[in-house]
Amino acid sequence: MSPWADLQERFAGALRCPERPPPVGCNGPDGLPDVKRFDVYRNNVLAGLIDALAQSYPVVRRLLGAECFEETARRFVAGHLPRSPVLLEYGQEFAAFLDRFEPLAALAYLPDVARIERAWLEAYHAADAPPLNPGALARIPAERAADVCLTLHPSVRLVRSRCAALTIWRLNVTDGPVTGPEPIALDASAQDALLARPEAEVDVIALAPGAAEFIAALASGRTLGDATECARNAHEPFDLTEHLTALLGGGWITSAHLKRRRTRGP
Amino acid sequence: MSTRTASLAVASALATAVTALAAPLATAGGMSMSGSMMMKQREHTMAELHTGKFVRCFGVALAGHNDCYAGPGTTCAGTASRNYQGNAFKLVPTGTCTAITTPYVTIVHGHGSLSKITEAGR
């Protein structure tokens, strides 16, 4: 390892662990090792990253309370220094971290709430794309309708949860009260959420059963016929008309093309 | 369902969707939206955009993301050497999660006690 790479490695290591002394060669203006200055720097890195997480995950923070969130974030930061200079991308692994974070394991819905917040942020910053004019699909002959492939808007994100994460997110995304005098009992049934920003605002939609399979299939390039089959395998009945109307009307489809038919042998 | 029947069903659904969307705005209210998936205030958003009062601001970061943390030592919050490095913070949730009860978990408000996840009722 080159001396420079070695210094970087030790510098990053010392950033992660407050107990570690500054790396050798990290000196103050007097040329001597300066623990206090390095501590200020290390603290700033932590403070900045914890703040960035708090900005990206306001609902998780509200659910946990400021102190608990800060400590959780601090432990996350210690193991996840940024890999991109774009701070907005920081914290992508937070939900997966929460999955394995034993002290908060009882809050089974917490990782999925974090996933919704990450999806919201990604949708918010995703590229623009003009929606497909539904009229363009009128030209497709009926016998080829099942071969249509639809391209989803670049901002479309799907979050599937076995808990009521979407309801919990909705209740906490504003500053209002989440409950009356009595604790609220939330149904723990699975919830699927679609997030997308076809225009200026992020839409957050609760999906009907089968819709997540349908949209995931479309996203992976499957045809309308295949995607419908995926949805019906997951949940019967599945209202294709309703979902197509919502997808096209919502501006969540940007283009369509016909899949070439495979030529089958006799 | 045979392949042919299935593909006819897809064609019919597509045709219905396209026809519904080709009609004037009023169809949005008249569409069959029995499921929970629905168009969400799209007209409202578009109207706001068109009034010019609402400025599209793509790429503008949320608060905090634009801040340069390369040198927060210039702010008073950043001059402390250890405030985020201690281990005195509590890991007991005191936020709104204490008011949420699910079959997975109950957190007794005010106690902050975390019970083990139970699969009861599942």
Is B117 inside a domain boundary? yes
**Of A24-28, A194-198, A258-262, which has the strongest mean pLDDT?**
A194-198
Does a structural domain hold residue B20?
no
Q: The domain containing residue B121 runs over which residues?
A: 90-122
CB < 8 Å to A88, chain B: 61-62, 65
pTM assigned to the model: 0.80
Per-residue confidence (pLDDT) for residue A188, from 0 to 100: 55
Distance in Å, alpha carbon of B16 to nearest chain A alpha carbon? 7
Percent of chain A with pLDDT over 70: 93
Among the partner-chain residues B89, B99, B102, the one whose CB lies closest to the CB of A70 is B89
Q: Does any domain span residue B110?
A: yes
B12, containing H or E segment: helix B3-22
- Set of chain A residues whose Cβ sits within 8 Å of the Cβ of B14: 137, 140, 145, 148, 224, 244
In a domain, B119, yes or no: yes
Residue B83: pLDDT over 70: no
Number of domain units in chain B: 1
Q: What is the mean pLDDT of chain A?
A: 89
Mark which residues 44-103 of B lie under 8 Å from A by CB: 45-46, 48-49, 54, 56-59, 61-65, 67, 69, 71-73, 77-85, 89-97, 99-103
**Which chain B residues have a beta carbon less than 8 Å from that of A251?**
42
- Domain membership flag for residue B27: no
Quick check: A228 pLDDT over 50?
A: yes
| B104 occurs within a structural domain | yes
B53 vs A214, which has greater pLDDT?
A: A214
Query: In this predicted complex, what is the ipTM?
Result: 0.75
B112: in domain: yes
For range A18-29, the mean pLDDT:
84
Chain A environment of B104 (Cβ under 8 Å): 106, 108-109, 163, 188
Q: For the segment A171-182, what is each residue's pLDDT rounded down to a tens digit? A: 888 777 766 555
Please report whether residue B98 resides in a domain.
yes
* A74-127 residue pLDDT tens: 999 989 999 888 888 899 999 999 999 999 998 989 999 999 999 999 999 999
pLDDT given at position B66 = 41
Cβ–Cβ gap B89/A74 under 8 Å = yes
CA distance A97 to chain B (A): 15
Interface test with A, best of B53, B89, B117 (most A CBs within 10 A): B89
Is A184's CB within 8 Å of B20's CB?
A: no
